[in-house]
Amino acid sequence: MVSLFGAAGLEYSVFDAFALPFMSRALIAVIAVSVTAGVVGLFVSFREMEFVTDGLVHAVFPGLVAGFLLGGAAGILPGAAVAALGAAVLFTLTDSRGGSDAGVAVVLTGLFSLGVVLISRGGSYVSQLQELLFGRILTVTSEVLWQIVVVSVVAMAIVLISRRAQLMRAFDPVGAESAGFRPFATDLALNIAVALTVVAGVQALGVLMVIAVLVVPIAVARLLTKRLTLLVPIAMLISLIAGIVGLWLSFDWSVRAGASASPGAMIVLMLITAYVIALVVRGIAPRNARNGRSIA
């Protein structure tokens, strides 16, 4: 049994830690975001939309700030949703009219800077900025948790309903159009799904962390397997393991050392560790295969 010792000498198991209300809510939020990011991230990877996704993540920031300033914690999700959906439409229109990465970069930096200016007008500028950038998963309330779950389900449903169009658009754009799938509608559906995933994840992990959850797990999965049917399950599993370990390490560190470690940052570090391990495994496997053939 893995355990940790608090300042009062009390011993807690891993199960005891996650039985605490704030830890169990954080775990459910991680599960919801991980499952959704695994499905949505597959098409982000196939379409090579990592930069657009990064743009959507940063475009959400002014909506987060406006919602927080107008309605407090309860206004974060509505504000983020409005900004994310607006950015999704804007990026889709830009791409359909031959826009380049420069256009995405302009929107990204402009909206993110707007968010910083807006939040600087409120009190407790530094603490508010830190919470929005790095998340506050351990303070997720039951109401916010339900919002995260609902938004995650909607995002995943959009991708699953349009999955045939998304796959054809990713691998055969001309064939997809010939088959009757409209490029603009398909692109808009994916961008909205990404935007909603960002909205769900940003409340827990923050603006700077949610991009990793969308991009890294599926990148790890693609390093480990070439089978399409295994990509999403592996990505979900990687994200879940990183979430659980990250939450546990953050909790463990705070109890043992009295240090405040960001759970969102710990989760991302676990994802990066998984990516590095996958790179090593990917590099070793072909070498072993060549050595086996040479011996034979």
Query: What's the token pair of residue 275?
Result: 């990516």
In the prediction, which pLDDT does 235 show? 93
Which residue reads 């959400």 in tokens?
60
Structure tokens that stand for 45 in this block: 């990877």
Amino acid at 12: Y
Q: How many residues does the chain have?
A: 296
3-state secondary structure of 152: helix
Q: How many domains does the chain have?
A: 1
198: left (phi over 0), alpha (psi -120 to 50) or beta: alpha
pLDDT at 132: 66
Give the model's pLDDT for residue 52.
77
| CATH at residue 144 | 1.10.3470.10
Residue 217: predicted pLDDT: 93
Q: Residue 124: what pLDDT?
A: 56
CA 14 to chain centre: 25
Give the pLDDT of the chain (296 residues) as one tens digit per residue. Answer: 344 444 445 566 777 778 888 889 989 998 998 899 889 999 888 888 877 777 777 778 788 778 877 777 677 778 888 888 888 888 787 776 655 566 667 777 777 777 777 777 655 555 556 666 667 788 888 888 888 899 899 999 999 999 899 888 888 888 888 888 888 888 889 888 988 888 888 777 777 678 888 899 999 999 998 888 899 999 999 999 999 998 888 888 877 766 677 788 888 899 999 999 999 988 776 655 555 554 44
pLDDT at site 1: 37
Tell me how far apart the alpha carbons of residues 205 and 265 are, in angstroms, rounded to a whole number.
8
pTM: 0.80
Q: Which domain holds residue 290?
A: 3-295
Other beta carbons less than 10 A from residue 110's beta carbon: 13
- What's the rounded Cα separation, in Å, for the pair 202 and 155? 14
pLDDT of 3: 43
Tell me the C-alpha distance between 11 and 77, whole Å.
Answer: 37
Phi, psi of 135 (to 5 degrees): 80, 170
As a whole number of angstroms, the distance between CA 89 and CA 104 comes to 12
Burial bucket for residue 159 (CB in 10 Å: 0-12, 13-18, 19+):
buried
Sign of CA dihedral 128, 215, 109, 78: negative
Contact 278, 223 (CB under 8 A): yes
